[in-house]
Structure 1
Amino acid sequence: MMLSRSITPITWRLSVRPLSTSSQLFNNVFKSYKFKDIKELIEEPNSKKVLVDVREPEEHMEYAIPNSINLPVNTAPGALGLIAEEFKSLFKYDKPDLTKELIFYCKSGTRAKVAEELARSYGYQNTGIYEGSINDWLKKNGKNVRSPN
């Protein structure tokens, strides 16, 4: 007699510590970026900084701040924990080096804070958040800001 077992899928639940815990744990506070800082970064790119859009790909395709990469925090929360080859295969660009400063943005700032916390858990110690995110960027006419490239 053959017994059949039903297999229940495992659901992983991500638990993120509050930002204050992160700052205390790593003895470092994330940098807060404003519109003028991001505008300057677009107009004068800095190879030591990576602007990271953590919205979903559909949102990123609708409109994204120039020169940003897309790492969707909701559907790919472990992206920065991937090895470089897997990262490149999945996202089609190189994984940011741990020495780079990652500056996160989303629609309003909430997902950016979660992504910043996750980045720290993967060893990225130099992080920032554009707290106004895409809403602030568009409100302040950022869509007219162009990269020199």
Structure 2
Amino acid sequence: MINETVGKRLIYLRKDLGRRQGEELSVNDVAQKMGIERHTLSRLENGSKGTIESFVTALRFYRKQGYNQEWILEDNNANTPMVVPSSGQMLAVVRTLNKIKECVTDYSAELEEQLKNLGFDAVEIRNFHKDSELVLPVELS
């Protein structure tokens, strides 16, 4: 039914869920919460046997806990978030990004003025990008 990789991911989610809840969750604990038998979840986690119904039950349970089903199922999940962010979490990220943007904007004028005072013209300043390496003409002590 499921492969070893998906089984390992189910184990990881069980342990992560326990960490998020502040307790260690056994196979039996999570199986009870899912409404399936302990041995059924154990088989799914081992990647050996299990029915489609029990696998779907596990997927639905973890989805309700906020986990991303794609993270469980994709062959290569390196660029797939494990947790589906809530709208509140996404709003917090956007607010933080906006704060960073404000800081960059606030200091960019100051930096431009400092560079002008050093003799750089506006064209050179605009061409200065994040991959540029800053080299000072003298060593500062």
Band the TM-score falls in, shorter-chain normalisation: under 0.3
Compare the two structures and name the one with the higher strand fraction: 1
Provide TM-score, normalisation by structure 2: 0.20
Provide TM-score, normalisation by structure 1: 0.20
Larger RCO: 1 or 2 (CA < 8 Å, sep 6+) = 1
